[in-house]
């Protein structure tokens, strides 16, 4: 923690999808962090480099990893509203560098980088949020957050403190939604088969609102749900936890607002 202030300086890595498609998630994340006593900074940023890394382009992945580490060097913590991008920064940045100095730097960076919800619960020891949501919701465990970072109980624990909210579990909430980054476009037909199973499970749960912690997965599921004309809303979990559900749900028109 920096000596000048008692509040931890948290660099918000919005993730490129939130930056471009759904800024409201970034503001929800900032509110949650500020409510928990953090000073939030948003250094100029683009992308964590995961698309390059997963496409086999290590050189670009390295360049972007260095760019992120430079941009956030003045922060006590780096926090992202995404298990997938956090997984890239925590698990994969250190794999990108063979040079001892850089590898050490990447490991140190990884050590202070967290996914938003688990940062609130595990680091800041937040046990409840000030938010209200009347109705039932179901939660999808995005793969990287779940399997790379062990995020499963944390969002459920905080959702349980949202007034009026009832969490109903869908079947196979821990199974992939078929997004997989560029996979969704490269192997669209297979991805479609996977997301179709997922939205069926969402429907069966009976919850009118689907939540998850990764915008990529959310855009995939929301895009399928609207294509199937299902009456289910889709939002990032941070929006509900922050009590910021004023914007229309993902992929929904304005009048669909509850």
Contact 78, 89 (CB under 8 A): yes
Provide the minimum distance between the beta carbon of 163 and another protein in the complex, in angstroms, as a whole number: 26
Measured between alpha carbons, how far is 202 from 206 in angstroms, rounded to an integer? 7
Provide the minimum distance between the beta carbon of 140 and another protein in the complex, in angstroms, as a whole number: 12
Between 137 and 176, whose beta carbon lies closer to another protein? 176
Between 138 and 144, whose beta carbon lies closer to another protein? 144
Provide the minimum distance between the beta carbon of 127 and another protein in the complex, in angstroms, as a whole number: 28
What angle separates helix 215-227 from helix 188-205, to the nearest 10 degrees?
80
End-to-end CA separation in angstroms for the chain: 41
Between 88 and 154, whose beta carbon lies closer to another protein? 88
Between 8 and 26, whose beta carbon lies closer to another protein? 26
CA dihedral 52, 56, 61, 63 (to 10 degrees): -110
* DSSP conformational letter for 249: P
> How is residue 241 written in tokens?
């936890």
Using CB atoms within 10 A of its CB, is residue 102 exposed (0-12), middle (13-18) or buried (19+)? middle
Contact 233, 162 (CB under 8 A): no
Provide the minimum distance between the beta carbon of 161 and another protein in the complex, in angstroms, as a whole number: 26
Between 133 and 179, whose beta carbon lies closer to another protein? 179
Provide the minimum distance between the beta carbon of 37 and another protein in the complex, in angstroms, as a whole number: 18
């Amino acid at each position: 923690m920096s000596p000048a202030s008692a509040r931890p300086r948290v660099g918000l890595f919005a993730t490129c999808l939130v930056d471009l498609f759904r800024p409201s998630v970034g503001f929800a994340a900032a509110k949650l962090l500020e409510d928990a006593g953090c000073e939030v900074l948003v250094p100029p940023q683009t992308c964590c480099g995961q698309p390059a890394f997963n496409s086999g382009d290590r050189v670009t992945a390295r360049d972007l990893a260095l760019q992120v580490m430079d941009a956030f060097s003045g922060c006590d913590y780096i926090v992202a509203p995404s298990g997938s991008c956090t997984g890239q920064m925590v698990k994969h940045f250190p794999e990108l560098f063979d040079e001892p100095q850089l590898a050490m730097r990447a490991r140190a960076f990884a050590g202070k980088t967290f996914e938003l919800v688990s940062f609130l619960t595990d680091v800041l020891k937040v046990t409840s949020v000030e938010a209200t949501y009347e109705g039932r919701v179901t939660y999808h465990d995005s793969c990287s957050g779940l399997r790379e970072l062990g995020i499963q109980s944390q969002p459920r624990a905080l959702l349980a403190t949202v007034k009026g909210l009832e969490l109903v579990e869908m079947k196979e909430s821990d199974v992939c939604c078929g997004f997989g980054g560029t996979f969704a476009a490269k192997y669209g037909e297979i991805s479609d088969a996977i997301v179709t199973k997922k939205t069926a499970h969402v429907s069966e749960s009976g919850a009118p609102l689907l939540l998850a912690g990764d915008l990529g997965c959310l855009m995939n599921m929301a895009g399928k749900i609207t294509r199937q004309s299902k009456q289910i809303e889709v939002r990032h979990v941070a929006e509900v936890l922050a009590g910021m559900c004023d914007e229309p749900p993902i992929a929904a028109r304005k009048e669909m607002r509850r």
